[in-house]
Structure 1
Protein backbone atom coordinates (compact mmCIF):
# COMPACT_ATOMS: atom_id res chain seq x y z
CA UNK A 1 0.00 0.00 0.00
CA UNK A 2 1.46 3.34 -1.05
CA UNK A 3 1.26 5.86 1.72
CA UNK A 4 2.00 8.95 -0.40
CA UNK A 5 -0.19 11.86 0.59
CA UNK A 6 -1.78 13.74 -2.22
CA UNK A 7 -0.81 17.39 -2.56
CA UNK A 8 -3.51 19.84 -1.68
CA UNK A 9 -4.94 21.69 -4.68
CA UNK A 10 -4.28 25.39 -4.85
CA UNK A 11 -7.50 27.19 -4.02
CA UNK A 12 -6.31 30.65 -3.05
CA UNK A 13 -5.84 32.92 -6.10
CA UNK A 14 -6.98 30.25 -8.54
CA UNK A 15 -9.56 32.46 -10.25
CA UNK A 16 -7.17 35.39 -10.56
CA UNK A 17 -4.46 33.20 -12.08
CA UNK A 18 -6.76 31.59 -14.62
CA UNK A 19 -8.41 34.94 -15.43
CA UNK A 20 -5.04 36.54 -16.13
CA UNK A 21 -4.23 33.77 -18.60
CA UNK A 22 -7.59 33.99 -20.38
CA UNK A 23 -7.62 37.80 -20.54
CA UNK A 24 -4.20 37.83 -22.22
CA UNK A 25 -5.37 35.18 -24.70
CA UNK A 26 -8.60 37.05 -25.42
CA UNK A 27 -6.66 40.27 -25.99
CA UNK A 28 -4.42 38.66 -28.61
CA UNK A 29 -7.36 36.97 -30.34
CA UNK A 30 -9.24 40.30 -30.47
CA UNK A 31 -6.22 42.12 -31.90
CA UNK A 32 -5.79 39.39 -34.51
CA UNK A 33 -9.43 39.55 -35.56
CA UNK A 34 -9.31 43.36 -35.75
CA UNK A 35 -6.21 43.26 -37.96
CA UNK A 36 -7.71 40.60 -40.20
CA UNK A 37 -10.89 42.66 -40.58
CA UNK A 38 -8.98 45.84 -41.37
CA UNK A 39 -6.62 44.35 -43.91
CA UNK A 40 -8.94 41.66 -45.28
CA UNK A 41 -12.14 43.70 -45.60
CA UNK A 42 -11.71 47.44 -45.07
CA UNK A 43 -8.57 47.97 -47.15
CA UNK A 44 -9.95 45.85 -50.01
CA UNK A 45 -13.20 47.80 -49.94
CA UNK A 46 -11.39 51.16 -49.96
CA UNK A 47 -9.29 50.00 -52.92
CA UNK A 48 -12.38 48.85 -54.82
CA UNK A 49 -14.13 52.19 -54.26
CA UNK A 50 -11.01 54.11 -55.33
CA UNK A 51 -10.72 52.02 -58.51
CA UNK A 52 -14.39 52.54 -59.33
CA UNK A 53 -14.38 56.31 -58.85
CA UNK A 54 -11.04 56.75 -60.63
CA UNK A 55 -12.65 55.78 -63.96
CA UNK A 56 -16.23 56.87 -63.26
CA UNK A 57 -17.95 59.31 -65.62
CA UNK A 58 -21.27 60.17 -64.02
CA UNK A 59 -22.44 62.40 -66.89
CA UNK A 60 -21.95 59.55 -69.36
CA UNK A 61 -23.97 57.24 -67.09
CA UNK A 62 -26.69 59.89 -66.78
CA UNK A 63 -26.92 60.32 -70.55
CA UNK A 64 -27.16 56.54 -71.07
CA UNK A 65 -29.97 56.26 -68.50
CA UNK A 66 -31.75 59.30 -70.00
CA UNK A 67 -31.62 57.78 -73.49
CA UNK A 68 -32.91 54.47 -72.09
CA UNK A 69 -35.97 56.29 -70.71
CA UNK A 70 -35.35 55.61 -67.02
CA UNK A 71 -36.02 59.21 -65.97
CA UNK A 72 -39.51 60.62 -66.47
CA UNK A 73 -38.65 64.25 -65.70
CA UNK A 74 -36.00 64.63 -68.44
CA UNK A 75 -36.55 64.27 -72.15
Structure 2
Protein backbone atom coordinates (compact mmCIF):
# COMPACT_ATOMS: atom_id res chain seq x y z
CA UNK A 1 0.00 0.00 0.00
CA UNK A 2 1.52 3.32 -1.06
CA UNK A 3 0.55 6.91 -0.38
CA UNK A 4 -1.17 8.81 -3.18
CA UNK A 5 0.87 11.45 -4.99
CA UNK A 6 0.21 15.03 -3.87
CA UNK A 7 -1.57 17.29 -6.34
CA UNK A 8 1.00 19.89 -7.31
CA UNK A 9 -0.63 21.38 -10.41
CA UNK A 10 -2.52 24.57 -9.55
CA UNK A 11 -1.67 24.37 -5.85
CA UNK A 12 -0.21 27.90 -5.69
CA UNK A 13 -3.23 29.47 -7.38
CA UNK A 14 -5.58 27.53 -5.13
CA UNK A 15 -3.75 28.69 -2.00
CA UNK A 16 -3.50 32.30 -3.17
CA UNK A 17 -7.27 32.50 -3.72
CA UNK A 18 -7.62 31.94 0.02
CA UNK A 19 -4.55 33.67 1.46
CA UNK A 20 -4.57 37.00 -0.41
CA UNK A 21 -8.08 38.06 0.67
CA UNK A 22 -7.38 36.79 4.18
CA UNK A 23 -4.16 38.81 4.35
CA UNK A 24 -6.00 41.89 3.10
CA UNK A 25 -8.74 41.51 5.70
CA UNK A 26 -6.27 40.93 8.53
CA UNK A 27 -4.13 43.93 7.54
CA UNK A 28 -7.19 46.16 7.22
CA UNK A 29 -8.39 45.02 10.65
CA UNK A 30 -5.01 45.72 12.22
CA UNK A 31 -4.81 49.16 10.61
CA UNK A 32 -8.27 50.11 11.85
CA UNK A 33 -7.61 48.79 15.33
CA UNK A 34 -4.32 50.74 15.51
CA UNK A 35 -6.09 53.90 14.38
CA UNK A 36 -8.87 53.66 16.96
CA UNK A 37 -6.90 52.14 19.83
CA UNK A 38 -3.66 54.14 19.53
CA UNK A 39 -3.84 57.25 17.38
CA UNK A 40 -7.28 58.57 18.34
CA UNK A 41 -6.59 58.44 22.12
CA UNK A 42 -3.20 60.05 21.47
CA UNK A 43 -4.78 62.88 19.49
CA UNK A 44 -7.33 63.40 22.25
CA UNK A 45 -4.60 63.48 24.90
CA UNK A 46 -2.70 66.15 22.93
CA UNK A 47 -5.89 68.17 22.46
CA UNK A 48 -6.67 67.99 26.19
CA UNK A 49 -3.12 69.01 27.09
CA UNK A 50 -3.03 72.02 24.78
CA UNK A 51 -6.44 73.30 25.94
CA UNK A 52 -4.87 74.46 29.22
CA UNK A 53 -1.20 74.80 28.19
CA UNK A 54 0.37 78.21 28.62
CA UNK A 55 3.69 78.39 26.79
CA UNK A 56 4.72 81.71 28.36
CA UNK A 57 4.15 80.34 31.87
CA UNK A 58 6.10 77.20 31.04
CA UNK A 59 8.97 79.25 29.59
CA UNK A 60 9.05 81.46 32.66
CA UNK A 61 9.25 78.41 34.94
CA UNK A 62 12.09 76.89 32.91
CA UNK A 63 13.90 80.22 32.79
CA UNK A 64 13.69 80.58 36.57
CA UNK A 65 14.87 77.01 37.04
CA UNK A 66 18.03 77.86 35.06
CA UNK A 67 17.48 75.42 32.21
CA UNK A 68 18.42 77.94 29.52
CA UNK A 69 22.04 79.09 29.51
CA UNK A 70 21.41 82.12 27.28
CA UNK A 71 18.44 83.50 29.25
CA UNK A 72 18.89 84.95 32.70
CA UNK A 73 16.14 84.84 35.30
CA UNK A 74 14.59 88.24 35.86
CA UNK A 75 12.98 89.62 38.96
CA UNK A 76 9.49 90.03 37.46
TM over 0.5, yes or no?
A: yes
Instruction: Measure, in 2, the Cα distance between the counterparts of 1:73 and 1:58.
Output: 18
- Aligned twin of 1:60: 57
Q: Relative to structure 1, is the Cα distance of residues 14 and 72 closer, same or farther in structure 2, using a 3 angstrom cutoff?
A: closer
Instruction: Measure, in 1, the Cα distance between the counterparts of 2:11 and 2:69.
Output: 73
TM norm structure 1: 0.77
Deviation at 1:53, TM superposition (A): 0.8
Root mean square deviation of aligned Cα: 1.9
Aligned pair count reads 69
Gaps of 5+ in 2: none
Q: Please, which of 48, 52, 55 is the counterpart of residue 51 of structure 1?
A: 48
Instruction: Measure, in 1, the Cα distance between the counterparts of 2:64 and 2:5.
Output: 86
Within 5 Å, give how 1:1-75 maps onto structure 2.
10-75=7-72
